[in-house]
Structure 1
Amino acid sequence: MSSQDTSPTPYDRPDGVTIYHESTSVVAVIEGITIVVIFLGALVANLIALATILRDKVLRRNLHNWLILNLIINDLGFTIMNISFLVVSVFDNGNFLYHNKVVCFINGNVLFAFGNFITVLAISVDRYLAVVWSARFPPSQSRTIVFIVFCWVAAIGSSFPSLFGVVSAIGYQEISQSCCSPEWQEDCFYSTILNVIIYVVIVPTMVFCYVGVFLNVWRQQRLLRSYADEKPSIVSNVCSVEDNDDDDDNHDHVTDTDHDMQLDDIDQSSEGPTCSDLTPGPMDYSQSSNIEEPDAEHAEGENEEKKTIQQENMMTGTKKKDRRSMQKKLNIDKRVALTGTLLVLTTLVCWSPYCIVYSCLLSINIPHWMGVATVWLGYSNSLFDPLIYSFMNRRIAARYRDMFRRWSVGLNAVIRCNSGEA
C-alpha cells in the first residue's frame, strides 16, 4: 500500500482545487462506503417512517405526529438535497459540485439543517406543554399548525443570506473535498448569529423543556409511591370485602367455563366454615313484641353498615383505577421524555463538532480527516432521527415488526418456490 493511500498528501488539480487522495484510493473507498450507507439508511428509514404514520389512522390523527412528520420531511429534504451529492463528490473529488454553481447552492444551503434544529425545538415545547401544562394548554390543531409554519419561516429566513450571497456566500469546501457550504470564515457575523441562535436560544429551551418533563415524571412517581405506601383500610366485615382489581385483569380466565365454578363450589364444601356459615341465622322474635323495635333498629344498622362497606369498596376500586391510569400516563411520559432527550442529544452530538470546527471564532488548522468526519457526523443526524422515534413509539415499532414479518414470509415463500423448481 502506498503512502499516498494511507496519508492525506495534498496535490493540486488543474482547476486549482487542492485534493487529498485519489478517487480510487482506500481512503476514498472508505469515505464512499460510509456516505452511501448514511444516504441509503436515512432515505429508507425516513420513507418507511413517513409511510407508516400516514397509513395508520391513529398515528395520523395524533397532532404531535404532525411535528414528527415535519421533522421527517426536513430529514428527507436534507438527505436528497445535501447528502446525495456527497456520494458523487467523494469519487470525483468534488469536480461536479465545483463546476456547477447551482447544484453547489442546493447542496450547501442551511435550509434543512437549521430547520432540523427548529423542528426539534418545536417538538420539545409541544411535549412540555402536553405533559406539564396539559390542562391549561391542551393539544390543538391551531397550535400545531403555528409550530409548523414557524419552523419553515425560521428555516427559510436563515438560508436567505448565504443563498443570495448577502453574507457568507455558498462555495465549495476544499478541506472536506466533498461538499459545499457557506463561507463561514469570510463573514463571521452570519456564523456567529446562527451559533448564538442555536446554542443560546434553541438548546437551552430544549433542555428546559425536558427538565420540566422529567420533574413532572418524578412528581408522578412520588405520588404513586405515596399511594402504594398507604395501609389498606380495615372494614368490619372482612368476609364480605373482595378486591376486584385483579378480577378486571383476569376476568377472562375466571369466567371461561362453568366447570371451574362447580369445582370452586366443591372446594368450598371441604375447606370448613365459610363466611356464610359464620353469619348467625335469623332468630325468631315473634314471642316477644317488646324486641320488634330493636330488631328494626338492628336491621337498619346492618343496612347502613352494608352501604358503608359498599362505599368503601367503591372508593378503593376508584383509587386503584386512578393508580392504574396514573401509572399508564407515567409510562407514556417516561417514553416521551426519553424520546425527546435522545432527539436533542443526537442533534447536539451530530452537529456540535461541525459548528466548532468550522467556527470563525476559533483558529483551527483543520486536517482533511477532521473535516470529513465532522461533515459525515452532521449528515448522519438524518438517519438517527427516524430510527429513534420509530423504535421508541410502540405502535410504529409494532407496525415495523408486522412489515418485516410479512417480508420474511414472502422471501421464504420465494426461496421455497425457487428451490422446488430447481
Structure 2
Amino acid sequence: MSSQDTSQTQYDRPDGVTIYHESTSVVAVIEGIIIVVIFLGALVANLIAMVTIIRDKVLRRNLHNWLILNLIINDLCFTMMNTSFLIVSVFDQGYFLLHNQAVCLIHGNVLFAFGNFATIVAISVDRYLAVVWSARFPPSKSRTIVFIVFCWVAAIGSSFPSLFGVVSAIKYQKISHSCSPEWQEDCFYYVILNVIIFVVIVPAMVFCYVGVFLSVWRQQRLLRSYASAKPSIETNVCSVTDNDDDDQDRVTHADNDMPMDDMDQSSEGPTCSDLTPEPMDYTKSSITEETDAEHAEGGNEGNKAIQRKNMMTGIKKKGHRSMQKKLNIEKRVALTGTLLVLTTLVCWSPYCIVNSCLLSINIPHWMGVATVWLGYSNSLFDPLIYTFMNRRIAARYRGMLSRWWIGLNTVIKCNSGEE
C-alpha cells in the first residue's frame, strides 16, 4: 500500500467506479446515518411546517406565507427526489444511479436547488418592500403570484441546459456518491450560474436586509424620542404615530415570521386615533358646565386639565407599547430572513468552490461527500429556522409534542398495569 492510501480501501469496480469503502464498513455506516438523519429531518420538518400553514387560517391568509410555502415545496421536492437516492448510493457505491440514467437525471437535477435560491431572493425583496416601502408598495396577491411565477421560471431556465445535456450533462460523480452536472465540461455554464448567484442574487439579498435593518434602527430611534417627548408635543407625536401605525399594519400583515397572535392584538389594539377623544365630548362638557355650574368654572377647568393630562399619558403609554410590539415583530422578521440567507450561502458556497472549473482542486472523497451533503442539509435548516422564529407555529409544535408525550405516558402506564 502506497503512502497516499488512507484507511479507506480504494479499488475499481468492473464498471469503472472507484470504491472508497465497503458497504459494511464503519465509514459507510456513519455516512448512511448522517444522510438518513438529514433526509428524515428535512422531510418531517417541511411536512409539519406546510401542514401547519395550510391548516391555520391566520397563517394561510398571510400573503407572505405563500412565499414560505413555495420555499417549503422546493425543499420538500429536493429532499424526496435528491436526498432519497443518495441513501441508496452510499451503500451500493452508486451502482443503482450509474445503471439507471433516468433516475440519475432526476437525482442530479438542480431544478429545486435553484428554486430555493430564487425563492430566498423573492422573500428578501418582498420583506424589503413590506418594511421599507410599505406605503408605496402594499402587499397584494398579484405581487405574490408574480414572485412565485418568477421563482419557477428562473429555476426551470437554469436547470434545463444540464437536464437535456445541452451543457454540463448530468452524470454520476464517483467522489460524492451522487449525480450532478459535469461542471468541468462546460465552464461557461458554470461561470454564468455562479455570476447570477454571487454577483446578482447575493448582493440583492444583502441590500434588501441592510435596508430592513436600517429601517428598524430608525424606528427604534423614533420610538425612544417619543418616549422622552414632553407633554406639550405629545399630541403632535400621537398624530405622527397614527400614520406610522397604519403603515406598520401593512408591514405586519406582509411578514411571515411574525407571531400572528401578537399581530392581531397589536393591529386591533387601541391607537392614538382610537384613544383621542372626539371634539363633541369637550364641547358638550363645556356647555353643560357653563350653564349648570358657572360659579365652579375655575375648579372644572382644573379638573379638565388633569383629565387631559391623564388621557395623554395613557395615550402615550398605549401608543408606545403598540409601536414597540410592531418593532419587535419587524426585528424578528429581519432576523429570520437574514438567517435564511446565511444558511443558504453557508450550505452551498463550499460546493460551488470545490466544484469550480476555474480552480484546479484535487478533491478527496471526504471533501466531495461533505460539500454535497452540506448543500443537501439546507432543505433541513430552512423549515427549522422558520419554525423556531414563528411563535404561532412554535406554539403548535409544543402543543403537538405535549400531546404525543401524554399519549406515550398513557400507553406506558396501561402496559405496566397502572390505572
AA paired with 1:335?
R
SS at match of 1:171: strand
**Secondary structure class of the residue paired with 1:53:** helix
Between the aligned partners of 1:84 and 1:296, the Cα distance in structure 2 is 85
Shift of residue 192, structure 1, vs aligned partner: 0.7
Identify the residue that residue 396 of structure 2 maps to in structure 1: 399
> Matched residue of 1:14: which SS?
coil
Give 1:377's aligned residue: 374
Q: Which residue of 1 aligns with 2:44?
A: 44
Alignment check: 8 A CA contact 2:35 2:86 kept: yes
Judge conservation of contact 2:387–2:393 (CA < 8 Å) in 1: yes
The correspondence of residues 30-179 of structure 1 with structure 2, limited to 5 A, is 30-176=30-176, 178-179=177-178
Q: Deviations over 1:8-67 (max 9, x none)?
A: 443111011222111111111111110011001100111111111111111111111111
Q: How does 1:313-352 map to 2 (within 5 A)?
A: 313-352=310-349
Matched residue SS, 2:179: strand
1:298 positional shift = 5.9
The answer as to whether partners of 1:173 and 1:179 remain within 8 angstroms in 2 is yes
> For residue 19 of structure 2, what is the aligned residue in structure 1?
19
Give the counterpart of 2:387 among 390, 395, 406. 390
d(CA) in 1 for partners of 2:96, 2:188? 29
Does 2:212 match 1:213? Answer: yes
Contact 2:23 2:93 (8 Å CA) reproduced: yes
- For residue 412 of structure 2, the aligned residue among 403, 412, 415 is 415
**Superposed displacement of residue 315, structure 1:** 2.6
1:404 and 1:5 mapped to 2: Cα distance? 48
Q: Kindly indicate whether the alpha-carbon contact (under 8 Å) linking 1:11 and 1:20 is maintained by their aligned counterparts in 2.
A: yes
Number of aligned positions between the proteins: 360
Contact 1:5–1:27, Cα closer than 8 Å, also in 2: no
Q: Does the 8 A contact of 1:4 with 1:21 survive in 2?
A: no
Q: What is the alpha-carbon distance in structure 2 between the residues aligned to residue 361 and residue 7 of structure 1?
A: 31
Provide the rounded CA distance (Å) in 2 between the counterparts of 1:28 and 1:298. Answer: 97
TM-score by length of 1: 0.81
Aligned to 2:29: 29
The code of the aligned residue for 2:92 comes to: D
The whole-number CA distance in structure 1 between the counterparts of 2:418 and 2:129 is 60
Q: What is the distance in 1 between the residues matched to 2:58 and 2:399?
A: 16
Residue of structure 2 in register with 1:199 after alignment: 198
Stretches of structure 1 lacking an aligned partner (at least 5 in a row): 234-292
* Greater Cα radius of gyration, structure 1 or 2: 1
Instruction: Provide the identity percentage.
Output: 86
Distance across 1 between alignment mates of 2:323 and 2:402: 34
Alpha-carbon RMSD across the aligned residues, in angstroms, is: 2.2
Counterpart Cα distance in 2 of 1:370 and 1:298: 92
Q: Decide whether the 8 Å contact of 1:5 with 1:25 is kept in 2.
A: no
Unaligned runs of 5+ in 2: 233-289
Report how far residue 5 of structure 1 moved.
11
Structure 1 CA distance for aligned equivalents of residues 160 and 340 of structure 2: 26
Which residue does the alignment assign to 2:225? 226
Counterpart Cα distance in 2 of 1:50 and 1:4: 48
Q: CA deviation at 1:308?
A: 3.5
Taking the aligned partners of 1:147 and 1:418, their CA distance within structure 2 comes to 53
Deviation at 1:312, TM superposition (A): 3.1
